[in-house]
Structure 1
């Protein structure tokens, strides 16, 4: 918080431009990747991301609340996605061993196969919409800065 000796400084032109572009990227990037995934794989980005996180989890299993958190979704939103994926046999739900009230989402072999099938489209979209525009950028420093902003 600024003090009487250090008044709040307005953003510079470059700071204002960066803040506005970050806002646009946060809205546009998921939309364009989702559109690519739907067009090429008929798999929404939200479902791809769910399958991806489960594939990286020990035993391809995550508690529903944890899966929602890593996917940046509400528990009810995650439940809707898991229900859709479950209908296609890509995910199963299982009671938590540690807590009888909780549920785990478990990636099936069919779900892993579907993720592997969709991965090239996701990779191509990420390269086209993000990484092709960052040539010459220090990605480690950028990642570190974005992580600090997010936390």
Structure 2
């Protein structure tokens, strides 16, 4: 494994975690999650590029950057999960392992949230575990990276 950096990309409105619908998304802020991810990744011998954007184009640019500089990618596309062909295409072009992540179980939510456009380009999807889903995603991504390297 050349790079040990994994990218963790977060989509629109995730900057409002801790304030926005805590009954659905929990009380952890995105800064809390980033700090935990850094600790979890370090314990596995990985480093993190942790980012958030409300802009679809910025997320596409970061996916392309992750593909050229990173060992793997975790993405919480947030609302773009259900609509973004641009994210799907960028993820499909990536040659690194990809995990899609959701704090809530999208299949237990409103009908319009139950379909993921972007999941078709992911190696796996983790959802419904709140902030601890990020730890699960980091562990799963580490396993995928190691499998790909062997």
* TM-score for both structures, normalised by structure 1: 0.25
Q: Give the structure with the larger helix fraction.
A: 1
TM-score (norm 2): 0.25
Higher CA-based Rg: 1
Q: Which has the higher contact order (CA 8 A, sep 6+)?
A: 2
